[in-house]
Amino acid sequence: DWVEPFRHRAVTTGPSSTVDLVLDCVAWLPRVEMIAFKVDIPGMPAAAWNRWYEHRGNPAWQERRTLSEEEGRAFEGEVLAATQLRGLLYHRGGHGWVDLALRLKSIGGMDQEADLTEESRRLTAEVKGKRGLWRRRGVWTELCYSQPEAREQFIRPIVEYVQEHPGVDALHVWLSDAGNNTCECPECRRLTHSDWYMMLLNELAPRLREINPNLRVVFLCYLNTLWPPETVRPSPECDNLVFMFAPIDRCYQHRLGALDCGEPLPAERPAHNQVIQPWGNAIHVGLLEQWRPFTTGDSFAFDYHFWLDWVIDHLVCDLTHVIPEDIEDLAKLGLGGMMCCGTQRCFYPTALPMLRIALGLAGRETGEEQEEEYFRLAYGTEGEAAKAFLDGLDQRRVRIEWGHERWDETHPRVWWDWTTLKHASATVAWLREELDKLEEAARSASNAREHQAWEILLHFHQFVLLAWRVAEAVHRGERETAREVAEETVAYLLRTEPQVYRFTDTGLQLAEVRRWPHLAGADGKPLAGLLPMLGTQEE
């Protein structure tokens, strides 16, 4: 039976990538009926690309260089041309408009304090009596939005960009990528941060419609704007707004609409600059419902399947089977589709999760028959052996109910905290037995595609074996061994990156795995939290 496709079927650029891989992704999207591609904030083309080309995360990487701004803009031009050639919608923007509003020179830089003039400082949010860059970065900074001048400075570069780039179909206007950093001056305290956000959008959206009547302006529910406005509503003139739901702390062990997952929605919104990142799916669904009266109709989810939880797929998550349920829930929740946030190099150990998002959003079948066909096409005559291995791994995965403690700076928790010595030892033994079966099945490969699929799966087997060996050593109380195996895991990912980088994002994997030696080791000293999004009043 025919199923109506979702209106929004999109992918955004990943944490780092080569221009060739981005162009490959753009070429692939229409083949699986995806219709849109997003590139991050304008104004920092070289900084975005240099996350890959400088390759600072892997000292053993041979080819590295620093792109000039001219080269970065040229790459952006290639991506735009590729999207237009294929009829894809071109999304642009996100976090980082504050860098442009404050006229910071090093757009996207890690320490921009020296760029901030005193004239611009007075427009920044006042937090604990001080104005300036939050944690020394523009992307983490809010403005004093009660000042008309601050709102106008935020709007200025957006208007200029739209005037100069008529090829953009949707412009994302997001505030800072941090929390608990909103202005505490008496005037700003009159309204919630979401009210000031909506006021800003009401001033901006009509001006952008005058320049480009077909442009859509995307705003979101995220961090400081998790809760909706209290008084300011979208103006009738703002029918070009599109609402984006970004459940960054949702759980991927349960479907998006699972109301028994995690914390319920609190009865009252948090006090000013006392936001606690919500954990679980029930609270995110509750926040979405709170926002409903303030949206203008068109909406989509900005979901993170291929961000940090993708790294622990088949250890903790089972993305292949939760994704079809998520897509069912999009319609039930009144959302018009999804934009995938995370890495584009998510074809590891298989392409099935990404393929299921694409096919599901397009209204195509994503059931058992589609899964069996995928394994047959990817792995050849022994595809059942590959499927059996991953099914067996999923049966052994760890069922976790972690909340805020995953990234707690004092006592962070790791996936192996929820397993036992018996389970970890049995899984290590099973993985060692499976290796002979997989290597035998891999010899059946009859073409380059099948050889490639088996090589990736065997690489993944070694990764999960190392991971489970860390867990086993931790539960044996052999902390020094655990640390050594965790360091071996990091070294393995770094050493083999040149062989698998087209299919897996080693940098994103290391964002999780580099914590393991510290958290497994004998000293027990935790790292600081990886994601400094929500600050505290003690900072």
Tokens of 382: 């022994």
Residues facing residue 10 across a β-bridge:
36, 339
For the purposes of burial, counting CB atoms within 10 Å of the CB of 357, is it exposed (0-12), middle (13-18) or buried (19 or more)? buried
Q: Count CA atoms within 13 Å of residue 414 on its CB side.
A: 24
What does the alpha-carbon distance between residue 467 and residue 491 come to, in Å, rounded to a whole number?
A: 13
Give residues with Cβ within 8 angstroms of 268, minimum separation 6.
none
Residues facing residue 221 across a β-bridge:
245
74 C-beta neighbours (distance < 10 Å), count = 14
Q: Is 206 left (phi over 0), alpha (psi -120 to 50) or beta?
A: alpha
| pLDDT tens digit sequence for 14-59 | 888 999 999 999 999 999 999 999 998 776 678 889 999 999 999 8
The dihedral sign for the CA sequence 81, 21, 112, 204: positive
| pLDDT tens digit sequence for 270-302 | 999 999 888 899 999 999 999 999 997 899 999
Q: What parts of the chain have a pLDDT lower than 70?
A: 1-2, 43-44, 404, 522-539
What does the alpha-carbon distance between residue 283 and residue 90 come to, in Å, rounded to a whole number?
A: 31
What does the alpha-carbon distance between residue 504 and residue 15 come to, in Å, rounded to a whole number?
A: 12
What does the alpha-carbon distance between residue 76 and residue 148 come to, in Å, rounded to a whole number?
A: 33
Tokens of 351: 């392409």
- 130-131 and 126-127 strand pairing: antiparallel
To 10 degrees, what angle do helices 421-442 and 448-476 make?
160
Q: Count CA atoms within 13 Å of residue 197 on its CB side.
A: 27
Q: Are 338 and 300 in contact (CB under 8 A)?
A: yes
326-352 exposure pattern, b = at least 16 Cβ within 10 A, e = fewer: bbebbeebebbbbbbbbbbbbbbbbbb
Instruction: Give residue 533's pLDDT.
Output: 36
Q: Are 325 and 487 in contact (CB under 8 A)?
A: no
Class of CATH domain 8-366: alpha beta
Residue 469's nearest CA partner among 450, 492, 497 is 492
User: Could you give phi then psi for residue 279, rounded to 5 degrees?
Assistant: -120, 140
Q: What is the DSSP-derived secondary structure letter of residue 467?
A: H
Instruction: Give residue 528's pLDDT.
Output: 43
> Domain ranges in the chain?
8-366, 378-520
What does the alpha-carbon distance between residue 342 and residue 99 come to, in Å, rounded to a whole number?
A: 22
For the chain, the farthest-separated pair of C-alpha atoms sits apart, in whole angstroms, at 71
What does the alpha-carbon distance between residue 337 and residue 317 come to, in Å, rounded to a whole number?
A: 22
Q: Is the backbone peptide bond immediately before 166 cis, with ω within 30 degrees of 0?
A: no
3-class secondary structure, 338? strand
- 170-173 and 130-131 strand pairing: unpaired
Residue 93's nearest CA partner among 3, 159, 178, 35 is 159
Q: What is the mean pLDDT of the chain?
A: 93
Instruction: Give residue 329's pLDDT.
Output: 98
Instruction: Give residue 44's pLDDT.
Output: 64
3-class secondary structure, 204? helix
Q: Are 116 and 168 in contact (CB under 8 A)?
A: no
Q: Are 519 and 482 in contact (CB under 8 A)?
A: no
